[in-house]
Each structure stands twice: as C-alpha cells, then as structure tokens.
Amino acid sequence: MSGAALKRMTVPDLVAAGLAFAAATWAVIESGRWPAPEFIGGPAVVPRVIAVILFSAAAALAWNALKGQSQVIEEPLDWVKKQRLGIMLAVTALYATALEPLGFLPATIAYLAIFALVLGLRHWPLIAGYAVGLPAGFHLVFSTVLKVPLPPAAWPF
C-alpha cells in the first residue's frame, strides 16, 4: 500500500477519534457541573460511563490508524442506503422535537417502532416488544434507580 493511500485511510479515522475524544471530554466536564448525588448513582453516572466507552473507542480507532490498520470501505453506499440514512436522520430530528411535548415514553416508543420499520424489520411482535420494552426499562432505571426525571407527557393521563 502506498503512503498516499495509507494517509487517505488514516486521516478520517484520526479526525473521528479526535472528535470522539472531544465529545467524551465535554460529557465528563458537563456532568461534573451537575449536583452531587445523594447515593452512589445519580444523573452523572450514565454520561460518564458513556464517556469512558467513547474514550476507549477513540483510543482504539486512533491506535489502529497510527499503526496503519484502518479499515477500508470496499464499496460506496448505494442510493437505497443513503435514502435510509436520510430517513433515520429525519426521524431522529423529529424525535428530538417531539420529546418535550409528547413525553419520554410515547415519543420513544414511536421513535423506536419507526426506526425498526425503516431498518426493514417486519416482525410486529418483535417491534412491539423492542419499542415498548426498551423505553419502559430506561424509564424504570432512570426514574427509579438513578432518580433522574425524564420528560413527562404534556397531557395529564
């Protein structure tokens, strides 16, 4: 492999590793500004755990890039994959705007169901279990265990 080809492969990986490292650093700094928890858990636990995972992934990506072992994408994305990616980004943006007015549970259930459909999943019991079970589990962990309030629904029922 030529030096130019190696450089083309490693630069995006190093940039991505730098961005991931910056995002993880920002998460640790911001979560440090939150009130201290009354117990071992608290609102800062999840961002810090995710930051550690992100630091690890960034370090592995940078290490492989510096060793010249970056992964090469063999084939470019075709139109269907680009279209699916665009739909997922639009659905995610819609979810972010719907979270406050609808509340965590209804917005997340709808988001995950639509996301599964966009990915091509058509097994309705699996979609329902995934779309309802995951947010319900998150709600239980965050609201009960970590005492972190999630966005409530705008309606009283």
3-state helix, strand, coil in the chain (%, to 5): 70, 0, 30
Q: Answer for the pair 98, 107: CB distance below 8 angstroms, yes or no.
A: yes
Q: Which amino acid is at 121?
A: L
Q: Answer for the pair 9, 72: CB distance below 8 angstroms, yes or no.
A: yes
The count of C-alpha atoms lying within 13 angstroms of the C-alpha of 101, restricted to the half-sphere facing its C-beta, is: 4
Q: Answer for the pair 24, 58: CB distance below 8 angstroms, yes or no.
A: yes
**pLDDT at residue number 149:** 76
pLDDT tens for 3-21 read 555 555 688 889 999 999 9
pLDDT tens for 53-80 read 999 999 999 999 888 887 776 777 677 7
Higher-confidence position of 65 and 152: 65
128-149 average pLDDT score:
86
Percent of the chain with pLDDT over 70: 85
Q: Answer for the pair 118, 84: CB distance below 8 angstroms, yes or no.
A: yes
**pLDDT at residue number 35:** 72
Q: Is 157 helix (H, G, I), strand (E, B) or coil?
A: coil
Q: What is the CA radius of gyration of the chain?
A: 20
